[in-house]
């Protein structure tokens, strides 16, 4: 590599350090450049252009094969566009031991190709592409968990995620969009309705007690006054 030549007046005897600084300048610049190149090479390639934003509509899972509109942005694009994979999971990468092979179902996976940097794809609602994308019930791949439907002997999850990634094997480009189970929402609504009715009865009872208490206090305060009056 050629080094730049520094030109200018020669240092005086009283400024000998100036000459030393000039001699060190090219070496220092070379070191800085080397560090910069090393840092650039250390950046994971997958983190560049990773899926950065996403949303789904609707946000509840009702039945197997349901249709979701998945909106995304941040894909890397080439001459032929980019690819996207969407699959159903019971956890996201905030879980310390998250593993797509364990917490996601590859059989629910659906691929999309030739996509622009941002846009919307339809996940599910297409039995010809994948009849169990998404699914309700037992995981068809491992049978180790279920979603939105209690199954004997396994843990049922009332919340889940659609994992959106450029490649299922690349965890540096994935994004997780949460969904809830429609059945769980209906059950919680029914439970809160029962609690609400009971609450009204209790509140009414408390109100009666409170009113009675106030009347009793007023009567107790009035009695001494009436007794102190001359007869």
List, for residues 35-58, the tens digit of each pLDDT value.
333 433 333 333 344 788 999 999
The per-residue pLDDT for 197 is 45
Could you give the CA distance from residue 12 to residue 17 in angstroms, rounded to a whole number?
10
The per-residue pLDDT for 51 is 87
The per-residue pLDDT for 50 is 72
The per-residue pLDDT for 214 is 35
The per-residue pLDDT for 182 is 94
The per-residue pLDDT for 24 is 46
Q: Which domains does the chain have, with CATH numbers?
A: 52-185 (2.60.40.230)
Residue ranges in the chain whose pLDDT is less than 50: 1-18, 21-22, 24-26, 28-49, 195-231
The per-residue pLDDT for 9 is 42
């Amino acid at each position: 590599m050629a080094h730049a030549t520094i030109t200018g007046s020669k240092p005086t005897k009283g400024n000998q350090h100036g000459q030393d600084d000039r001699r060190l300048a090219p070496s220092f610049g070379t070191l800085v450049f080397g560090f910069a190149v090393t840092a650039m090479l250390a950046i994971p390639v997958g983190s560049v252009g990773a899926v950065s934003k996403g949303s789904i509509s609707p946000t509840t899972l009702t039945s197997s094969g349901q249709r979701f509109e998945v909106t995304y942005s941040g894909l890397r694009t080439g001459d032929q566009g980019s690819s996207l994979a969407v699959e159903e999971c019971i956890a996201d990468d905030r879980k310390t031991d998250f593993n797509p092979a364990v917490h996601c179902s590859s059989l629910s996976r659906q691929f999309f190709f030739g996509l622009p940097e941002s846009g919307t794809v339809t996940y599910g609602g297409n039995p010809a592409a994948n009849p169990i994308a998404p699914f309700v019930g037992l995981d068809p791949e491992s049978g180790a968990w279920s979603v939105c439907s209690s199954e004997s002997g396994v843990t049922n999850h009332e919340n889940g995620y659609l994992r959106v990634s450029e490649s299922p094997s690349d965890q540096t480009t994935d994004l997780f969009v949460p969904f809830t189970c429609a059945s769980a929402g209906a059950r919680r609504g029914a439970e809160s309705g029962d609690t609400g009715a009971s609450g009204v009865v209790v509140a009414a009872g408390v109100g009666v007690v409170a009113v009675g208490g106030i009347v009793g206090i007023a009567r107790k305060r009035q009695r001494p006054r009436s007794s102190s009056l001359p007869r």
